[in-house]
Amino acid sequence: MLKINNLYKHFGSLVAVNNLSMSVNKGETVVIMGPSGCGKSTAIRAINRLIEPDGGSIFLDGTDVTLLSEEELRGVRKRIGFVFQQFNLIGRLTAVENVMLGLVMDGLKREEAYEKSLAALQKVGLDQVVDHRPSQLSGGQQQRVGIARALAYEPDLMLWDEPTASLDPMLVREVLVVMEELARVRETTMLVVTHEIAFALHVADRIVLMDKGSIVESGAPHRVFVNPVSDVGRRYKELIEYQLNTSSRTLAGERIAS
């Protein structure tokens, strides 16, 4: 479905993505993780050329998107759903109107756009609030509208760039549950940039770890986090062990201060 070869991107003297090669098979959920600033967002944004790569190729179903004209790219972008950290909803439109907007602008009849949008909102569990405006929705619900907006296109590939990063921690779970369900159904191939370790451990088919613009290791979550071969992998392993250990000690009633 997606094959990236030797992707390269620099900003002035800073090399943000260096010789990155990876692939995602149809129906797979692949999670990219790594320290802040290691190039995850740059890499994922290069796939639909929100960021123009400086080198390498990106094949989506055999088509190299780096070679497409602006018009051809518009067609390909419809097959790629993108969920950002910011929801970017339009405040004066209702949830369903926010989802419909792109479809109508792309020439779909209003009724058809409405039906598709309702179905997408149902998939993210928002069928009860389709007429609410963003200000009437929680952050988690707003992000689910953002997800529905991408799903309404029935994309072949969904790209997620830290979809929970701007959410109140109490609302993160509801978005992760929606993502988990989409991964489970496997209609959509997913490439996810996230710092949510539990999601990566539980849901990813494969983890890709980056550091300083390059992939330092990749593999099944259990292998990467239990037997890491990179410094970044070992740091994640330590973090998981710390979180598990402190959570279980606290649940057992053991606390530093009482």
Ligand X SMILES: Nc1ncnc2c1ncn2[C@@H]1O[C@H](COP(=O)(O)OP(=O)(O)OP(=O)(O)O)[C@@H](O)[C@H]1O
CA-CA distance, 162 to 23, in Å (whole number)?
A: 20
Choose between 40 and 206: whose C-beta lies nearer to ligand X.
40
- Judged by CB under 6 A, the number of residues near ligand X is 11
Edge-to-edge strand ranges of the sheet holding 55-60: 14-24, 2-11, 55-60, 63-64
**Closest distance between ligand X and the C-beta of residue 19, in Å?**
15
Choose between 133 and 212: whose C-beta lies nearer to ligand X.
212
**Closest distance between ligand X and the C-beta of residue 253, in Å?**
36
**Which of 11, 21, 26, 244 is in the footprint of ligand X by CB under 6 A?**
11
Structure-token match 């993505």, residue found: 17
Choose between 39 and 134: whose C-beta lies nearer to ligand X.
39
- Binding mask 221-240 vs ligand X (x if CB under 6 A, - otherwise)? --------------------
Regarding 159 and contact with ligand X (CB under 6 A), the answer is no
Contact between 99 and 137 (Cβ < 8 Å): no
Q: Which helix (H) or strand (E) holds 14?
A: strand 14-24
CA-CA distance, 35 to 212, in Å (whole number)?
A: 8
**Closest distance between ligand X and the C-beta of residue 161, in Å?**
8
Beta bridge partners of 217: 209
Span 194-223, contacts to ligand X by CB under 6 A: none
Span 59-88, contacts to ligand X by CB under 6 A: none
Regarding 164 and contact with ligand X (CB under 6 A), the answer is no
Q: HSE of 85 in the Cβ direction (CA atoms, 13 Å)?
A: 11
**Closest distance between ligand X and the C-beta of residue 226, in Å?**
23
**Closest distance between ligand X and the C-beta of residue 34, in Å?**
6
Edge-to-edge strand ranges of the sheet holding 206-211: 80-83, 157-161, 189-193, 29-33, 206-211, 214-219
Choose between 42 and 142: whose C-beta lies nearer to ligand X.
42
Nearest to 115 by CA among 131, 99, 129, 138: 99
CA-CA distance, 253 to 85, in Å (whole number)?
A: 36
Span 23-52, contacts to ligand X by CB under 6 A: 34, 36-42
**Closest distance between ligand X and the C-beta of residue 174, in Å?**
22
What residue ranges bind ligand X (CB under 6 A)? 11, 14, 16, 34, 36-42
